[in-house]
Structure 1
Amino acid sequence: MLMKHPDLSQQTRTDAGLAAVLRVAVGRLARRLRAQRSDTSMSLGQSAVLFTLARHGRMTPGELAEHEKVQPPSMTRIITNLEGRGLVCKMRHPDDRRQQLVELTATGLEVVQADQRQREAWLAQRLRELTAAEKATLRKAAEILERLSQA
């Protein structure tokens, strides 16, 4: 016998319930967006590094490792792979000659932009299926989710 789950308004009445529903919904949406990636030959870690560099500009390997919450040797492997594919390049740090900076190449930027276009087109299509009121609610929720993601 299947148990009937309470509706969302019941589940989200408490902070714990809201947290559980958001975790599942945001996770599911993130998986759906990842499925829309334009280059599936690249690992999620590699894609994340490209997006980070596109958003923040040049970074040291250590800064990238810290930002992506991976160990420095893992970041070194990611950078080496991306460099081999011509998507990033390394250069000497202008202020500390012992350090290197990693930045996107023009090809890397094209990959990021193509990926963003593809994912945003998929999401825009899903948004067209919503009512004006639902979109207004999502606009408010997007601001709140962005704030939560930065906490």
Structure 2
Amino acid sequence: MLTNPPKVSPVANLRSDVGLASALRVTLARLNRRLRRQSAKHSLTPTQLATLVAVDRHSAITPGELAEQEKVQPPSMTRVIAALAARGLVSRTPHPTDRRQVTVTVTEAGLALLKEERRLKEAWLAQRLKELTPEERTVLRQAAPILEKLSKI
């Protein structure tokens, strides 16, 4: 008779780097999915939202620079920017030194959407943090810069 082996928690084997990598991958993916569910009611695709965040972070950026940063092909980025512009979330203006290009900036409507998006996600996460012990929150405060470093490597 075959039985299924018991499921192992993703944090069960943290002694090895491979085990840590596996645990982080599973846990961060799950946390990311949960945070995405806390989204403002806007119907943007994940790519559109990531692009809006990138434009906000790097004001007056060209579509080519955005495509490179977001790791998508320039024609795909052009379509994403067009969709965001059609909704009034970004504006395109002539590039100050290269008439063949445009720069993209976030509009007031785009800023309002991002503000609400961040507010909802941070409120959800703050509530989850309240459920942790003070010691657990201290560990997370120490881990946050390390996770940030990992995200930039």
Fold in common (TM above 0.5): yes
Q: 1:7 to 1:104 in 2, by over 3 A?
A: closer
From 30, 33, 43, the counterpart of 2:32: 30
5+ residue gaps, structure 1 = none
Which segments of 5 or more consecutive residues in structure 2 lack a partner in the other structure? none
Please name the residue that 1:18 is paired with.
20
The equivalent residue for 2:94 is: 92
Q: C-alpha deviations, 1:73-131, integer Å up to 9, x for none?
A: 11111101110000000001112121110010011011011100010000000000000
The equivalent position to 1:118 in structure 2, one of 96, 120, 125, is: 120
In structure 1, what is the equivalent of residue 52 of structure 2? Answer: 50
CA drift of 1:39 comes to 2.8
Deviation at 1:43, TM superposition (A): 0.5
Q: CA RMSD in A?
A: 1.4
Q: Determine what percentage of the aligned residue pairs are the same residue.
A: 50
User: Residue 142 of structure 2: SS of its match in structure 1?
Assistant: helix
Higher helix content, 1 or 2: 1
Instruction: Give the 3-state SS of the residue equivalent to 2:91 in structure 1.
Output: strand
> Would you say 1:101 and 2:103 are equivalent positions?
yes
Once residues 28 and 77 of structure 1 are traced to their aligned partners in structure 2, the CA distance between those partners, rounded to angstroms, is 29
For residue 71 of structure 1, what is the aligned residue in structure 2? 73
Whichever residue aligns with residue 46 of structure 1, its letter is Q
Q: Note if contact 2:10-2:26 (Cα within 8 Å) is conserved in structure 1.
A: no
Inter-CA distance 7–111: structure 2 relative to 1 (3 Å threshold): closer
Whichever residue aligns with residue 127 of structure 1, its letter is: L
Partners of 2:112 and 2:37 in 1: CA distance: 19
Q: Which runs of 4+ in 1 moved over 6 A?
A: none
Kept in 1, the 8 Å contact 2:11–2:20? The answer is no
Local SS of the residue matching 2:97: coil
TM-superposed CA distance for 1:3, in Å, is 1.9
Q: Closer, same or farther in 2 for the Cα pair 1:69/1:39, shift >3 Å?
A: farther
Query: Cα distance, 1:5 vs. partner?
Result: 4.4
Name the structure 2 match of 1:150: 152
1:4, distance to aligned residue in structure 2 (A): 2.9
| Gap change, CA 1:7 and 1:76, over 3 Å in 2 | closer
Aligned residues, how many?
Answer: 151
1:39 maps to 2:38? no
